[in-house]
Amino acid sequence: MNFIQQLHAAQTLNDSLLCVGLDPEPSKFPGAWKGDASRIYDFCAAIVDATKDLVVSFKPQIAYFASHRAEDQLEQLMAHIKRVAPSVPVILDAKRGDIGSTAEQYAREAFERYQADAVTLSPFMGFDSIEPYLRYRDKGAILLCRTSNPGGSDWQNQRLADVAGQPRLYEHLARLAQTDWNQNGQLGLVVGATYPAEIARVRELAPTVPLLIPGVGAQGGDAEATVKAGWRAGAGGREGQGGPIIVSSSRAVLYASAGEDFAAAARRVALATRETLNAARR
Ligand SMILES: O=C(O)c1cc(=O)[nH]c(=O)n1[C@@H]1O[C@H](COP(=O)(O)O)[C@@H](O)[C@H]1O
């Protein structure tokens, strides 16, 4: 199964549009684990175990592991997810972007070392910086398009004077991801939940590509508006009818409780968020 097929299958199996982001921050860990970076795996595995039947995807953020020299724990975690939730695709959030020869190494890191099913990428350096990832035919490459942070508009909202119709940069990218760049149907786009009007615009320009939508929860994105903007009737039910949406939340789920009940609390928030997302599409 390729990444898109995995997404469709997980969305149906778990009846979910929710992605739980794994951004482990030891200073926020409960009880005796607080401040202990050697517990990153244990913390994330507990969250995975508590939410694995509620999600369309998991999304570990590589910086939260690398900054603590915990790459080995990320490897362990990826193996754990494959073991306990083999139907749930994993998106490695790495936001890589470099020339082709270096991109080959990043692609090997994401897909061979960590066994990710998809990776987030910055498209700033152009198509030849994306192409090495596409050689892994079953894997997904999710391009930053209209990001959730306010500063995203510094570049992404600029109009391109030399392209017909003067689209904004993010609109041009959405069009490329739907057409010329999407040579084997592997591309997805990141659009922030904090900008529902732009989600709708991206969905219009890229009707079938998966949209990864972070920003609900801690960043205050509106879950209902997100779904109304990005979801199309029939999407995800059967392939070819519309691109899946993957609505991601990290801190609001991971740190729902600072106590020993953190995993149960994470499950409660994940359940409630899944319900909100589902209600908005029905
Ligand atoms: O690519 C991403 O995942 C991403 C893109 C974006 O536009 N905004 C964004 O917040 N993210 C990531 O999504 C996560 C958001 O975390 P919370 O705000 O805690 O839900 C972080 O890991 C960010 O790095």
Q: What per-residue confidence (pLDDT) applies to 109?
A: 98
Greater model confidence, 233 or 168: 168
Per-residue pLDDT, 261: 97
Mean pLDDT of the chain: 96
Q: What are phi and psi of 187, to 5 degrees?
A: -85, 150
Whether the Cβ atoms of residue 27 and residue 19 lie closer than 8 Å to each other: no
* pLDDT of the residue at 62: 98
**Domain containing residue 47:** 3-281
Strand order across the 211-214 sheet: 57-60, 18-22, 245-249, 211-214, 187-191, 140-146, 118-121, 91-96
CB of 61 within 6 A of ligand 1: the answer is yes
Q: Whose CA is nearest to atom 7 of ligand 1?
A: 147
* Average pLDDT of the residues in 23-31: 97
Which residue has 């894997």 as its token pair?
139
- Counting atoms of ligand 1 from 1, which one is nearest the CA of 64? 22
The dihedral sign for the CA sequence 181, 11, 193, 206: positive
**pLDDT at 194 (0 to 100):** 98
Residue 270, class by beta-carbon neighbours within 10 Å (0-12 exposed, 13-18 middle, 19+ buried)? buried
State if residue 250 touches ligand 1 by the CB under 6 angstroms criterion: yes
Dihedral angle sign, alpha carbons of residues 252, 149, 10, 63: negative
Question: Among 82-96, 110-124, 215-229, 234-248, whose mean pLDDT is lowest?
Answer: 234-248
Is ligand 1 within 6 A of the CB of residue 198? no
Q: Would you state the pLDDT for residue 242?
A: 77
Percent of the chain residues past pLDDT 90, beyond the cut: 95
Range with the poorest average pLDDT among 36-45, 56-65, 100-109, 158-167? 158-167
C-beta of 218 in contact with ligand 1 (< 6 A): yes
Q: What is the CATH number of the domain that holds 71?
A: 3.20.20.70
Catalytic sites, residue numbers: 95
In this prediction, residue 239 has a pLDDT band, given cuts at 50, 70 and 90, of very low
At residue 237, does pLDDT exceed 50?
no
Number of domains in the chain: 1
pLDDT at 236 (0 to 100) = 52
For 187-215, the pLDDT digits (tens) are 999 999 999 999 999 999 999 999 999 99
Token pair for residue 225? 């508006």
What is the spatial distance between Cα 275 and Cα 78, in angstroms, rounded to a whole number? 26
Task: Give residue 190 CA to ligand 1 midpoint distance, Å.
Answer: 9
Average pLDDT (270-278) is: 98
* 205 touches 230 (CB < 8 A): no
- Where does the pLDDT of residue 78 fall: very low under 50, low under 70, confident under 90, or very high at 90 and above? very high
Q: How high is the pLDDT of residue 240?
A: 43
Closest CA to 254 of 273, 280, 277: 273
Residue 233, pLDDT > 80, answer: no
Strand partners, 213: 247
In the predicted model, is pLDDT for residue 234 greater than 90? no
Q: What is the pLDDT of residue 7?
A: 97
Ligand 1: residue whose CA is nearest its atom 12? 214
Model confidence at 232, pLDDT cuts 50, 70, 90, reads confident
- Which H/E stretch holds residue 96? strand 91-96
245 has pLDDT over 70: yes
Residue pair 87/10 in contact by the 8 Å Cβ criterion = yes
CB 108 within 8 A of CB 135: no
Per residue in 134-145, pLDDT tens? 999 999 999 999
Specify whether the CB–CB gap between 254 and 23 falls below 8 A.
Answer: yes
